[in-house]
Amino acid sequence: MKILVCISHVPDTTSKINFSNGDSEFDTNGVQYVINPNDEFGLTRAIWFQEQQGATVTVVNVGGPDTEPTLRKALAIGANEAIRVNANPTDGFFVAKQLAEVIKNGGYDLVIAGKESLDYNGGMVPGMIAGILGSNFLNSCTAITVDGSNVKAVREIDGGKETVSTTLPLIIGGQKGLVEEKDLRIPNMRGIMTARTKALTILEPVDAPVNTKAVKFEKPAPKSAVKLVSPDNLDELINLLHNEAKVI
């Protein structure tokens, strides 16, 4: 089984976020980047298939040279090879077109993408890839098993979970649940050294329209000051909740 894991290069959630050029661009100065958490769950599940069923695992990213350390980390975790499409991922459809081309030319059986990246939270790319290729698609996937070409998976739906059966080739939008957080892999020294010798192929992008553009970013309004009320002064608490907060 050939597995392709789509990797987004996203800011660490602890990074301080700022914008530049009139709040029209994300300021990357001092920002640490990591594997998108939803993608990391998918990568770990792919490595499980590699170890248990002999699958080969390729990771792919659409981005510039600055994303290569993230791909090297994925190789250190256990992926067999990596692909970088040399383009700025400015638009969901543009990224989906690039990834669809890689999938079409690579003949992959299972494509695992995160259901969304934790920077823009668009949630568009996995479904767009499936639409472009006409492939089977499952979103919000929390569990998957493969037996030959038959697949059983669990996905989150409103109010619960749904178990479905389908067949390969398949594209999934994965999330937490594909593996437990305690099972996420940390690269060891051997993996880091081995990653240096694994293939990282750079592809030029195919022509594709960029349909959207970020016009302006805006930070959430800062939280207002907190008022502390003595636990003995319930009348003041009720007054504040009623007249100031207006929640009762």
The CATH number for 84's domain is 3.40.50.620
**Residue 223 has what pLDDT?**
82
- The boundaries of the domain holding residue 90 are 2-217
**Residue 213 has what pLDDT?**
87
- Alpha helical stretches, state H, the chain: 37-53, 68-77, 92-106, 125-133, 189-195, 234-239
Residue 248 in domain? no
Q: Work out how many domains the chain is built from and give that number.
A: 1
Residue 101 in domain? yes
The type of residue at 200 is: L
Residue 163 in domain? yes
**10 Å Cβ neighbour count for 197?**
7
Residue 149 in domain? yes
CA 18, CA 219: separation in Å to the nearest integer? 8
**Residue 247 has what pLDDT?**
87
DSSP reduced 3-state for 79: coil
Q: In what order do the strands lie in the sheet with 110-114?
A: 160-167, 150-157, 136-147, 170-174, 110-114, 2-6, 56-63, 81-86, 200-203
- What is the DSSP track for 144-213? EEEETTEEEEEEEETTEEEEEEEESSEEEEE-TTSS-GGG-----HHHHHHHTTS-EEEEPPPP------
Residue 227 in domain? no
Residue 81 in domain? yes
| pLDDT tens, per residue, the chain with 248 residues | 999 999 999 999 888 889 999 999 999 999 999 999 999 999 999 999 999 999 999 999 999 999 999 999 999 999 999 999 999 998 999 999 999 999 999 999 999 999 999 998 899 999 999 999 999 999 999 999 999 999 999 999 999 999 999 999 999 999 999 999 999 999 999 999 999 999 999 999 999 999 998 899 998 888 878 888 898 898 999 998 988 888 88
By the 10 Å C-beta count (0-12 exposed, 13-18 middle, 19+ buried), 204 is classed as exposed
Residue 242 in domain? no
- Which pTM does this prediction carry? 0.88
**Residue 200 has what pLDDT?**
98
Residue 241 in domain? no
